[in-house]
């Protein structure tokens, strides 16, 4: 009998067994020696919560919260991730549907493997769009206009990819788009026949949001080259100010780790600042995001909303981040582990698991609702 899937670590292990190595490593890995990734996880492991007693815990704690001017059923959501279709074909929409059902946000990424319009359709009230500001201002403008037409009300501008991260696992695996299977990759595909068959049927994951801007019939490698240009274009405070003028909805700057940058983002009109080291996939020397959160919270006026991500692996971690001053928490890899392990059932199961763990952590620390957090 196979082991029950009752923790993110279980989901990760099952996903690793079911997915070819190059696909799992793309999701699981970080930049360089993966120190930033480990640091963010370790900061949560090393942080404690103080138990409190004799507080009414008969009625379940209220997990609802306000963020970006609206109410959410949960204080956490799904971070934007490129190429989620590597976990299993259709991953983007699986996450979108689960987020919609949970009443939690799901951020569709520019390098997603479903069209941003399709994600919005699957999550018509909770989806947000993540924008890479690329070398081509025309493409950037068109992506913004498409997000607007599709009905998105929140734009997340990712700031921490002025250069692509140096991801050693991808380089060692020879991972690129389109997949160019050498003998090792072929052996991995043969080890995972269900994944290989589903992917062959569905077509290899591609950067579908950029298909409109490529030459008709462009190859996957043409799209990948376009994506490389479209994730590392000129993005400075002036460009950010122009986006603020252009976008009338909520605007969030993602990838901030310094208090000076957080303050400047707020002054430039960001509705929230998202503390993130891109899951340790960019600067390997970056500090733990929980540490950066504490520093930024201490340096900023308390009414500036902060989101954070990086290394959140259970419900207690979510409470730790909220206690450290986050208004909202985002989670990346665990949702793709859940899909790699459980396919379409994964994201809903993970929402449920995190929510139950968070509720228990709140009961054990004497909290009835999140309004009391960090007070
Ligand atoms: C496979 C993968 C792809 C990602 N792609 C993007 C992206 O396209 N845009 C972006 O802003 N962040 C991207 N990120 C970063 C996530 O949004 C998030 O910051 C990070 O995953 C949080 O850390 P965690 O995975 O430990 O939860 C990606 C992360 C992963 C794991």
Q: How far apart, in whole angstroms, are the C-alpha atoms of residue 149 and residue 147?
A: 6
Among 182-186, 195-199, 244-248, 352-356, the minimum mean pLDDT is found in 182-186
Q: Is the CB of 343 under 6 A from ligand 1?
A: no
Please tell me the distance between residue 332's alpha carbon and the centre of ligand 1 in angstroms: 6
Q: How far apart, in whole angstroms, are the C-alpha atoms of residue 164 and residue 172?
A: 16
Whose C-alpha lies nearest to ligand 1, atom 1?
27
Note whether residue 13 is domain-resident: no
Residues contributing to the annotated binding site for FMN: 80-82, 130, 158, 254, 276, 309-313, 332-333
Please tell me the distance between residue 78's alpha carbon and the centre of ligand 1 in angstroms: 9
Q: How far apart, in whole angstroms, are the C-alpha atoms of residue 125 and residue 70?
A: 11
Q: How far apart, in whole angstroms, are the C-alpha atoms of residue 119 and residue 127?
A: 7
Note whether residue 364 is domain-resident: yes
Note whether residue 40 is domain-resident: yes
Predicted confidence band of residue 10 (pLDDT cuts 50, 70, 90): very high
Q: How far apart, in whole angstroms, are the C-alpha atoms of residue 73 and residue 294?
A: 25
Task: State which ligand 1 atom lies nearest to the alpha carbon of 84.
Answer: 1
Q: Is the CB of 31 under 6 A from ligand 1?
A: no
Residue 351: which CATH number? 3.20.20.70
Note whether residue 12 is domain-resident: no
Note whether residue 274 is domain-resident: yes
Q: Output DSSP code: residue 79.
A: P
- The pLDDT value given to residue 375: 37
Segment 21-47 shows an average pLDDT of 98
Note whether residue 5 is domain-resident: no
Q: Is the CB of 90 under 6 A from ligand 1?
A: no
- The pLDDT value given to residue 145: 98
Predicted confidence band of residue 373 (pLDDT cuts 50, 70, 90): very low
DSSP string, 111-160: T-SS-HHHHHHHSTTTEEEEE---S-HHHHHHHHHHHHHHT--EEEEE-S
Residue 237 has pLDDT above 60, yes or no: yes
Segment 189-203 shows an average pLDDT of 96
Residue 58 has pLDDT above 80, yes or no: yes
Pairing of strands 328-331, 76-78: parallel
Please, are residues 168 and 17 in contact by the beta-carbon 8 Å criterion? no
Q: Is the CB of 23 under 6 A from ligand 1?
A: no
Q: How far apart, in whole angstroms, are the C-alpha atoms of residue 115 and residue 92?
A: 9
* Torsion over CA: 346, 349, 352, 358 (sign): negative
- The pLDDT value given to residue 1: 59
Q: Is the CB of 205 under 6 A from ligand 1?
A: no
215 or 298: which leads in pLDDT: 298
Q: Give me the count of residues in the chain.
A: 375
Please tell me the distance between residue 358's alpha carbon and the centre of ligand 1 in angstroms: 22
Whole domain around residue 209: which residue ranges?
19-370
Whose C-alpha lies nearest to ligand 1, atom 8?
82
Task: State which ligand 1 atom lies nearest to the alpha carbon of 311.
Answer: 26
Beta-bridged to residue 352, according to DSSP, are none
Number of domains in the chain: 1
Residues contributing to the annotated binding site for glyoxylate: 26, 132, 167, 278, 281
Please tell me the distance between residue 105's alpha carbon and the centre of ligand 1 in angstroms: 15
Ligand 1, from 12, 81, 113: best to mutate by most atoms within 8 Å of Cβ?
81
Note whether residue 1 is domain-resident: no
Show which residues are catalytic: 278
Note whether residue 210 is domain-resident: yes
């Amino acid at each position: 009998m196979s082991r029950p899937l009752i923790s993110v670590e279980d989901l990760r292990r099952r996903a690793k067994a079911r997915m070819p190595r190059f696909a799992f490593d793309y999701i699981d890995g970080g930049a360089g020696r993966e120190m930033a990734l480990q640091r963010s996880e370790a900061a949560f492991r090393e942080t404690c919560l103080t138990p409190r007693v004799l507080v009414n815990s008969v009625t379940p704690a209220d997990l609802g919260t306000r963020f970006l001017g609206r109410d959410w059923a949960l204080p956490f959501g799904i971070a934007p991730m490129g190429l989620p279709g590597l976990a299993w074909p259709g991953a983007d929409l699986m996450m979108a549907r689960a987020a919609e059902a949970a009443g939690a946000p799901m951020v569709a990424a520019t390098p997603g493997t479903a069209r941003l319009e399709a994600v919005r359709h699957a999550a018509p009230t909770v989806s947000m769009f993540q924008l890479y500001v690329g070398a081509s201002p025309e493409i950037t403008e068109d992506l913004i206009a498409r997000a607007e037409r599709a009905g998105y009300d929140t734009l997340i501008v990712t700031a921490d990819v002025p250069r692509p991260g140096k991801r050693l696992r991808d380089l060692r695996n020879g991972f690129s788009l389109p997949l160019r299977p050498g003998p090792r990759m072929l052996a991995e595909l043969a080890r995972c026949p269900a994944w290989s068959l589903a992917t062959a049927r569905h077509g290899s994951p591609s950067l579908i949001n950029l298909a409109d801007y490529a030459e008709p019939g462009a190859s996957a490698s043409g799209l990948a080259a376009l994506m490389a240009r479209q994730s590392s274009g000129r993005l400075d405070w002036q460009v950010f100010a122009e986006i603020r003028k252009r976008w009338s909805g909520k605007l969030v700057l993602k990838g901030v780790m310094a208090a000076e940058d957080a303050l400047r983002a707020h002054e430039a009109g960001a509705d929230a600042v998202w503390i993130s080291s891109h899951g340790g996939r960019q600067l390997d020397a970056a500090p733990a995001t929980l540490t950066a959160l504490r520093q930024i919270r201490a340096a900023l006026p308390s009414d500036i909303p902060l989101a954070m991500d990086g290394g959140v692996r259970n419900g207690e971690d979510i409470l730790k981040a909220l206690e450290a001053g986050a208004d909202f928490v985002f989670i990346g890899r665990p949702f793709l582990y859940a899909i790699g392990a459980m396919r379409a059932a994964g994201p809903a199961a993970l929402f449920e698991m995190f929510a139950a763990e968070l509720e228990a952590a709140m009961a054990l620390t004497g909290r009835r609702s999140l309004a009391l957090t960090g007070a």
